[in-house]
Structure 1
Amino acid sequence: MYLKTSLVILATTLGLLSGCSTVSESSRQSASSVQTEFSEVTVSTSKELAKAVSRMRRGGVIILESGDYDDLNLSLSRSYRPESPLLIKAKEGGTVFITGDTEIQITGKHITLSGFTFERGTRSGGKAELIYMAGEHNRITQSLFRNVDDLEGVWVQMNGRYNRIDHSWFEGKTSGQSYINMDIKENRPVYHQLDHNYFTRQPLGKNGGSASRVGHGSMYLNNARILFEYNLFDDESGESEVISAKSSENIFRYNTFKNSRGHLSLRQGERALVYDNYFIGTGEEKHGGLFVRGEGHVVFNNYFHNLNAKPRYKEEGAVSFGAATGSYDGQRADKGLNGRHFPITRNILFANNTIVKPGDFAMVIGSQVGSRDRTLIPDSLYLINNQLVGARRQSVLQLDGAKDMVWQANFSSDAIPGHDHTGLTDSLISLADGPFGMPMPTDMQAGVSGKDLGVYLEKLNLDMTWEENRSMVERIQNQTATAGFSIPHNAENQPVHPLTKNDVGPSWMMH
């Protein structure tokens, strides 16, 4: 093991995440003048890595030489300071393989793993997770999880607070449970972030094959405030739920769901923000979009194209608002679970979305009614400024029993509207390829102004002390009086188009 102590600037140290293990003189000169003492260690075996971790008491960098790191049992429990974190990284991305009987516990603070490839593994715990990620301000980045093992259990259990998984690749899980699971404590949002990741998965053939479970049935009212952004779910077809959200106040934005035999599922929970996402299929059976249950959600400015939801239970559309369990189960409630296994769907703003070639239906209101005691049809949906083009059967299927619905400035083309209301107009909508290569309406249609949409936002009971809610409300209130989806722009005012493999995953895979 080679040990050296040096003065390294914090900003430059974090720059090592890109995969470069050397620091240029120009980088030293241009970085901040604030300097912190770090240790830098180079290791080449699992034992050397564990030994180096035990010696890193004040932060630093551990660099892994190329090779296999077998049977890695690593406990990272020390809390480092923000200005002197611990970075454990591959010297060169794609050359460090974590294999054999692996168990990694990250329970400290300000710890980053970067540049690893997890494969050819096993877990002696059988159903235990590969990585248990808790603590605070910890990160997994620039890593590849591919065909790790065939054991039950998740690959990453993500607990704690303010943790992040980014620029990583998840592929080849053939056993039950998700790639990433998150559990949420009561009255304490966790603020995790998952961004720029790639997820793909072949059908599991049973429940439990989602990319991520965000909470649990006992946590559906816990405000998680987890951010999913810039992730590509590409043929993520493990089961009908690509993501299963079972907690409240989560954000899904700038993601692309592509050719996946399932949907983004707001399974249980309240007040999610779902905006600026792309849901794109090939028209293949079961390519889905968005399934909505719960209350208080905002679904704004999403694009859906060439989907073909074919459910096991009753009809689904590109967007489905699910029927709820009719009877209330007090025994479930006593256990902390929702008394209705399929919760009531109500009080939701669905605005400025464009749905093109959705399969049989663009929207279904009351999806899955009649199966498993699902008898309560959604109510109090605010459906405004949407464009529905090219459904095979009809644009909207609204089951009997829906009440207190608001339809304003919605436009249906090329199919029976399916709803006799002045707020859903049969209108010819011409299409042409948009700037991202998908068909978009060529003409703008008059809609409801953002100011008028504000009336419905007030009904959702959003927590306006949270900056994300304030920004969302301000954006919607400034919306022009037009219908349909418009190309989103991020905080840097850059247009957000559908993601490709070159936009996500480890940078070292993009050669």
Structure 2
Amino acid sequence: MRLFNLYSIQVCLLSLALFTAQLTAKEYLVESIQAYNEISPNLVAGDTVVLKNGIWTDFEILLQGRGAADAPITLTAETKGEVVLSGQSNLRLAGQYLVVSGLVFKNGYTPSSAVIEYRRDKQHLAFHSRVTEVVIDNYNNPDKLESDYWVALYGQHNRFDHSHLVGKRNKGVTVAVRLNSEKSQQNHHKIDHNYFGYRPTFGSNGGETLRIGTSHYSLTNSYTLVENNYFEHTNGEVEIISVKSGENTLRGNLFYEARGTLTLRHGNGNIIEQNVFIGNGVDHTGGIRVINKDQIIRNNYLEGLTGYRFGSGFTVMNGVPNSSINRYHQVENATVENNTFVNVKHIQLAAGSDAERSAVPINSSIKNNLIINDDQQQPFSAFDDVSGIEFSQNIANTQVLAELAYGVEKRDFSYSRLDNGLIYPESNEITVGVKRDLKVLAKQDTGVSWYPKTPAFVAFDSGKSRNVSATPEALLTAINQAKSGDILVLASGQYDMPKLIKVDKTLTIRALDKGQAKLTFERSALFEIHDGGNLKLDGLTISGENSPDAAGNSVVRTQKWGMVDNYRFDVSNSNIVDLDINHSFHFFVTGKGAFADQISITDTSFNQVTGDILRLNSEIEDLGIYNAEYVTLTGNSFVDVDGAVVQLYRGGTDESTFGPHLLMTNNELHNVGHGKRNKSNASVYLHGVQVTKYEHNDMLKSAPIVVEHTVGEPRTVISDNTFDSTMAPSVKELHVKGPHTAQIQNNKNNKVR
């Protein structure tokens, strides 16, 4: 009885405290940073701070205090979406039962290590706290290689939900769960219903969208739930999600045309279930990569994925015997069941097998899965002994590898798309694969309703056409007045441009009559691409005849340093002449740190060039960084070029990226690459390029193609070309012993004269 009375007294006291807190709770409408700083140290349970609508510049918000479960301390916007944090602003939470909502971060970057941080410092963390309905939109440090998080979760029992994150371009994970102290481990965080929008290709390691833990704490359990999030075009690097801790659940998420994979990089006992991966045939779209012990992958749907190797639709890795904590632990006791693979090009087993990664998967099972490929091409590759994976009761509409056939039944069956948008067998007798009631997450059910989910970038030729008369003043005025996506149509005549043209929007410059609009320039370059800039040139004649009599001119360049936005550059149906006023006159030069999603040159002629055509080799520190993802040259003529047509460089041993990619087809190279300042001694120089297709090109009296393979199992095909008085291609393996892996075939090698 005495114990009961004591308990009753404690309950009454707690209820009284909560009731008193509710009576004394206040709501503050705050109009300035100073006003906020005056009240914030004294906030108590139940208090609400409302930030007045407007732009708040350089506002470092610290929300701290001890709220209660039914009386949190709340910070919100007067109107959701109308409170914009700009300049060097951030948000930190420390204490218990704190709630933040309705804010927008844009037009600036964090002055600290994170935009939103669930801690004040190492000693003061957040617990039972929530950030909901916030937007972080292109809030990037202008130094692309300066690393920060957008959201960093510390402490325990915190939630990040219904938020909109798009356009992270500088180095660093978008959302990170940190386990670097005991009070942040076994945290039971929840990350749900967020919209993760476009994250452009970063061009090196450090572009994950979500990471749970790090290798140092990977044998620690996190118990984080990642549920019902939408990942659209999150292309930063090969790991979209990097799980580096144990006992996490990732459920009900949708990945739409996202280049990369959900990777179980470190940590054991994770559950991956009810996720949907839709690739639509987009290059390098991937699914799930399995490493470590006791992983469960069940009831996931994967369709239209093209990725291979570490970015495959499904990958089971080889491990390192007695692996250090930061390498690859052996796959053991993995369960892969009731998943559906539709038009998934690659399912790779024992992937990464080499002298170091020699520990094959063991004690694992792949069962009750459904495999459908419209092209009848079987998707499996086995790179080592896979007898440690037991296959059973799987069904495919294709033959599979002979060593797997015992556990994969080939069966002919009809299939169709059901109301949830997924493909299932029409016969109810086939019960393998995902459940028919699998819910597919809708994009509109994630993020916030009051902020638009806009396309990733403005397409060329998507705006208005503007006619330009044949004077340099008219062209400069038109460029200044153009909107992103517009097309400037140049009247016939000569445009002697006295100024450098800075391009900071998506712009097409096109000749009304092909070849009849001629541009010359008096500065060291004609065009300079800046952040936000994308440039398309069509049907022009560009001459270097009026350029300064100095070395190092170029027609187009990016800004020399400090670009954070990726760009696109397209040239077609044009004539480029007289780039020979002095030595080292290049057509295109990249600045350091600049990164092109796409560079394309089509049906264009180049004559009399003393430098390189495409100079994409500014990243020489061998850190895995490079300057362009896709470089495509089709149907061009290169005559009397002292330098190389392409200098493309990706150094180091990092395996977190897919590129660069080079496609050269149906080009003519005549007397290319023999200039004394061409240090590569090549007409095409490729170092560390991951995908090369050099086909149907004619080379006459030109320097050879030089290819240097590094890491990542590069794919190089050099076929159906004519080498007339040109040495055969040179291919070297810089890190792998043995003969090179390039496919060099069906080429005509006429005698070197």
TM range (shorter): 0.7 to 0.9
Residues 296-318 of structure 1 deviation map (CA, whole Å, 9 limit, x = unaligned) = 0111111010001134x6xx631
Classify 1:325/1:186 alpha carbon distance in 2 versus 1 (closer, same or farther; 3 Å).
farther
Name the aligned partner's letter for residue 266 of structure 2: Q
Q: Secondary structure at the match of 1:51?
A: helix
Distance across 2 between alignment mates of 1:281 and 1:374: 29
CA contact 2:277–2:301 (8 Å) conserved in 1? yes
Match of residue 225 from structure 2: 227
CA distance in 1 between counterparts of 2:229 and 2:436 reads 17
Tell me the distance in 2 between the aligned counterparts of 1:50 and 1:441.
61
Shift of 1:170: 0.7
Which TM-score applies when normalising by structure 2? Answer: 0.53
d(CA) in 1 for partners of 2:35 and 2:376?
62
Per the alignment, residue 129 of structure 1 pairs with 114
Q: Is the 8 A contact 1:407 1:424 kept in 2?
A: yes
Q: Is the 8 A contact 1:304 1:356 kept in 2?
A: yes
Q: Cα distance 1:488–1:241, how it changes in 2: closer, same or farther (>3 A)?
A: farther
**Cα separation, 2, equivalents of 1:203 and 1:497:** 26
Residue 374 (str. 1) matches residue 357 (str. 2): yes
The reply on whether 1:424 has 2:408 as its aligned counterpart is: yes
Match of 1:39 in 2: 26
- 1:499 matches 2:442: yes
What is the aligned length?
Answer: 420
SS of 2:450 mapped into structure 1: helix
Partner secondary structure for residue 47 of structure 1? helix
Distance in 1 separating the partners of 2:359 and 2:379: 22
- CA separation of 1:170 and 1:392: change in aligned 2, threshold 3 A: farther
Q: Which residue of 1 aligns with 2:135?
A: 144
Between the aligned partners of 2:54 and 2:136, the Cα distance in structure 1 is: 16
1:483 maps to which residue? Answer: 432
- Counterparts in 2 of 1:444 and 1:375: CA distance versus 1, 3 Å: farther
Q: 1:412 aligns with which of 390, 393, 396?
A: 396
Could you give the per-residue CA deviations for residues 403-461 of structure 1, whole angstroms, max 9, x where no partner exists? 33322110111354554443211111322111122322222345xxxxxxxxxxxxxxx
Helix, strand or coil for the counterpart of 2:269? coil
Which deviations, in whole Å up to 9, do the C-alpha atoms of 1:276-326 show, x marking residues without a partner? 110111112100000110110111111010001134x6xx63110011124
Structure 1 residues 439 and 58, CA gap change in structure 2 (3 angstroms):
closer
What SS class does the counterpart of residue 157 from structure 1 fall into?
strand
Task: Report the residue type matching 1:381 in the other structure.
Answer: S
SS of the residue corresponding to residue 222 of structure 2 reads: coil
Aligned to 2:214: 216
User: What is the CA–CA distance in structure 1 between the aligned matches of 2:404 and 2:46, rounded to whole Å?
Assistant: 65
Contact 2:318 2:351 in 1 (8 A): yes
Residue 69 of structure 1 and its aligned partner are, at CA, apart by 1.2
Cα separation, 2, equivalents of 1:445 and 1:320: 29
CA RMSD in angstroms, aligned pairs only: 2.2
CA distance in 2: counterparts of 1:195 and 1:159, whole angstroms: 16
Aligned-pair identity (%) = 25
Q: Which amino acid in 1 is paired with 2:71?
A: S
Structure scoring higher RCO (CA < 8 A, sep ≥ 6) equals 1
The structure in which a higher percent of residues are strand is: 2
The structure number with the bigger radius of gyration is 2
1:322-360 C-alpha deviation (Å, 9 max, x unpaired): 11124x36xx5xxxx35xx0111120111111100002x
For residues 64-122 of structure 1, give each alpha carbon's deviation from its aligned partner in whole angstroms, at most 9, with x where no partner exists: 22101111122223122223211111121111101122232211111111000001123
Give me the whole-angstrom Cα distance separating, in 2, the residues matched to 1:487 and 1:509. 33
For the residue of structure 2 that corresponds to 1:376, the secondary structure is coil
Aligned to 1:75: 62
Say which SS state the counterpart of residue 135 (structure 1) adopts: strand
Residue of structure 1 equivalent to 2:344: 358
| Higher deviation after alignment, 291-300 or 401-410 | 401-410
The aligned runs of 1:97-246 (5 Å cut-off) are 97-125=84-112, 128-133=113-118, 134-150=125-141, 151-184=146-179, 185=181, 188-200=185-197, 201-246=199-244
Q: SS of the counterpart of 2:37?
A: helix
Give unmatched runs, 5+ long, in structure 1: 1-32, 447-481, 490-495
Matched residues in 2 for 1:301 and 1:420: separation?
Answer: 21
Return the TM-score normalized by structure 1: 0.78
- Structure 1, residues 37-70: CA drift from partner, whole Å, max 9, x if none? 2211111222222223223233311112210111
2:252 maps to which of 248, 251, 254: 254
Which AA in structure 2 matches 1:79?
R
Residue 92 of structure 1 corresponds to which residue in structure 2?
A: 79
Q: Aligned pair in 2 of structure 1 residues 488, 419: CA closer, same or farther (>3 Å)?
A: farther
Q: Does 1:320 align with 2:311?
A: no
> Do 1:397 and 1:418's aligned partners in 2 also have CA atoms closer than 8 Å?
no
In 2: Cα distance, 1:123 partner to 1:510 partner: 23
Letter in 1 for 2:114: E
